[in-house]
Amino acid sequence: MCTVNLQGLKEILKDIWAFSIALDAGNNAGTAYLDLRMRCYYKNFLQNLHLLAIPMRERHTGAYQYDLIVNALDILAPNWRYQLIGVSSDGASTMTGCIQGTVSRLARECHTPIFRIWCGAHQLDLVIKKAFNGLCNERFLNIVTGVTGHLRRQQNLISDMKCACPTFVLTRWISMGKLLKWLKEKRIRLLQHFEEKTACSPSTEWWITIMIIQPLVKRIEKTFISLQGLNTLVCEQRKQLSQLGTDIMSRCNIKGPISVEEELEFKAQLQQKPLHGFILGRYCVSQKEIVDAINEVGGFVQLSMDQFCDSDDNADRAKHQEIVSSFANFGLQIVTGVMKIVVERDARNSGTEEIPPVLPLDLFNVNSRLFTASLQQQRIRLRQKLSDEAIEQIDEQFRQLRIAVREETGLKAVLEQAHTRENVQSFDECWSPLGTKYSDLHRFCAGMASVMPGTSSVEADFSLISWTKDPNSQRMTDFSLESILHCKQYDRLQKLLFND
């Protein structure tokens, strides 16, 4: 099975002008693996395929991982030094170090520049983790851990509710979404339970925090899911992250990015009146606006916050202010973090220029010089498969497309409809209205679109490895495990190779 699949992958790699890889190292079920996936455009569709899960017997240094990858690619794609157009990683120092990192070594080995991608979903995960760690002066997560542990031990409660409290894994922040949703839905029944178990009962302000951050986490989950598609484009990932930042700003009434003058004015107001509002970087929100956002969550939150605010007890008023401050800082942390995410990286792992546009409408709007520059940058890579005449035809079709969109009645509207047909833009859907009229330009853009926006598909491989190699299967050999991974894509590869 492995032999047949690997030979099929080699045939595919032989026929294409560009492909990208995503790689990640991890310890699964007691064994360290370097997982390698590739994406390319083949048979009119973007293909995301597993290459190898390579066992690692030495320290996970950049040099060692580089040698493993080169040994695999030299066999599967002998011309990879010309074909490799992008490498995606999780941003670990062993991957992205500017001298010794695996990605840096691969970039130096290639004959033409490659796109370096730091997984957008991973960066978003780091942003959310930081925001949660600072919630309620770091007490929130400690209480969450204690409450979930208590609830999962209450067998009578589980039997009565016919469901158990979801688990919360500190290293998997998306699990927080399921937990918050469950706590919000079961709040009334859980409050009844805690009336009997007062020693373990969380405070009212903790419940309020659960209620006000759950909608934000639900919105963040939506973006996480969209970023993890097998064929998600880098440009689409950028749009999804930008939209997430905009939506969180709207829900929290946050303003920004503010000018330097506005920032100085806001800070001056804070010096005169510390409770005027909150600011982080170039984003700010007033006290009144953040309270209005909290009141939008629901009746329980409104009534509870009013009781704290109107109380004669200074401790209650302090609780009110702590909730407001925590929610404001939580929202500001997410917005500033999300707006700083840049997936395209340079040799020093700093943010760099965006990958050139690959969708028809984006090509229509791009500056002609920018397209010419991107085509020239890929000329050496293209020459491995195309003649100079064919490369010039790409440029010609680009200009023909721009004229057609501008002058042909209804074409722009059709393309706009294709661009907005799905929540997440699809390369194939966006190009489908044009048929084969711009086939050379289509093929060029498809190669550029093969750059993978992250490592989510690699992490899916790791999940399968962990599931397959459970405690009862620890003696399973690495070759048997690789066979299982390849079995999952055997039928698909056979259809790709033998169906026209």
pLDDT at 206 over 80: yes
User: Do 63 and 85 meet the contact criterion of CB atoms below 8 Å apart?
Assistant: no
Model confidence at 488, pLDDT cuts 50, 70, 90, reads confident
Per-residue pLDDT at 475: 46
Per-residue pLDDT at 470: 52
Model confidence at 32, pLDDT cuts 50, 70, 90, reads confident
Model confidence at 176, pLDDT cuts 50, 70, 90, reads confident
User: Do 437 and 443 meet the contact criterion of CB atoms below 8 Å apart?
Assistant: no
The one-letter code for the residue type at 381 is: R
Mean pLDDT of 341-363: 89
On average, the pLDDT of the chain sits at 89
Question: Residues 320-338: pLDDT tens digits?
Answer: 999 999 999 999 999 999 9
CA dist 373 → 59, 174, 202, 366, 377 (Å): 41, 40, 60, 12, 6
Model confidence at 171, pLDDT cuts 50, 70, 90, reads low
Per-residue pLDDT at 25: 83
Question: Residues 466-479: pLDDT tens digits?
Answer: 545 555 444 445 66
CA dist 311 → 53, 219, 315, 342, 371 (Å): 61, 33, 9, 46, 63
User: Do 421 and 407 meet the contact criterion of CB atoms below 8 Å apart?
Assistant: no
How far, in Å, CA of 210 to CA of 181, rounded? 9
Residue 442: CB atoms within 10 A of its CB come to 23
Question: Residues 103-160: pLDDT tens digits?
Answer: 999 999 999 999 999 999 999 999 998 998 888 666 888 888 899 999 999 999 999 9
Model confidence at 459, pLDDT cuts 50, 70, 90, reads confident
Per-residue pLDDT at 316: 93
How far, in Å, CA of 181 to CA of 187, rounded? 10
- Maximum C-alpha span of the chain: 82
DSSP helix/strand/coil, 378: coil
List the single range of 22-31, 167-176, 315-324, 459-468 with lowest mean pLDDT.
Answer: 459-468
Per-residue pLDDT at 476: 46
Mean pLDDT of 21-41: 84
How far, in Å, CA of 161 to CA of 155, rounded? 10
Question: Residues 224-272: pLDDT tens digits?
Answer: 888 888 788 998 899 999 999 999 999 999 999 999 999 999 999 999 9
* Geometric angle at alpha carbon 226, from 224 and 230, rounded to 5°: 110
What are the backbone angles phi and psi of residue 450, rounded to the nearest 5°? -70, -15
Q: What percent of the chain has pLDDT over 90?
A: 65
| Claim: this prediction has a pTM higher than 0.85 | yes
More confident residue, 197 or 357: 357
Question: Residues 387-441: pLDDT tens digits?
Answer: 999 999 999 999 999 999 999 989 999 998 888 766 666 898 899 999 999 999 9
Per-residue pLDDT at 279: 96
Per-residue pLDDT at 421: 64
> Beta 19-28 vs 84-89: how paired, if at all?
parallel
DSSP helix/strand/coil, 195: helix
Contacts of 369 (CB under 8 A, 6+ apart): none
Give Cα 223 distance to the centre of its chain.
7
